Amino acid sequence: MGAGSYQMGGWSQGIALPDPDISARYLTKEIPSDANPSGASQYRYSNPAIDDLFGQAARELDAEKRKQIFFKIQEVMREEYEFIWIYNTTAAWGMQTKVKNFEQTVKTPFGGFHWRAEAWDIG
């Protein structure tokens, strides 16, 4: 995998919440190599403009400005058409109303329905 000698790949990734920063998957410096065998960019994507935008996002403290930077990242990547996503999965789940202390957060879809299960109670 580190050598990049493949024609097609499939990866699954979650989002680091509460901030949707997935820069490690797209930064040039994260491309696996002999010097960096654990690099996270299995896509082997490299674009200095994207590297710069992710750097700006990492330094920006204003949430609205960060949002605009992430929109720009999406725009650049869409225009390059570097990836063709074959499918996207969805998850659906339900719970009985007698379960108490269930914390329904943005983390729930990515952390699984078991998020903070130690706090649940049957009431």
* CB-CB contact of 93 with 113 (8 Å): yes
What are the tens digits of pLDDT across the range 45-102? 899 999 999 999 999 999 899 999 999 998 998 888 777 767 666 666 677 888 888 7
Instruction: State residue 79 phi and psi, 5-degree precision.
Output: -65, -35
Domains of the chain, residue spans: 1-88, 90-123
Amino acid at 28: T
- Threshold 0.75, pTM exceeds: no
- Of 78, 76, 54, which Cα lies nearest the Cα of 66? 54
- With 0-12 / 13-18 / 19 or more C-beta atoms within 10 angstroms meaning exposed / middle / buried, residue 30 is buried
DSSP classification of residue 40: S
What are the tens digits of pLDDT across the range 51-63? 999 999 999 999 8
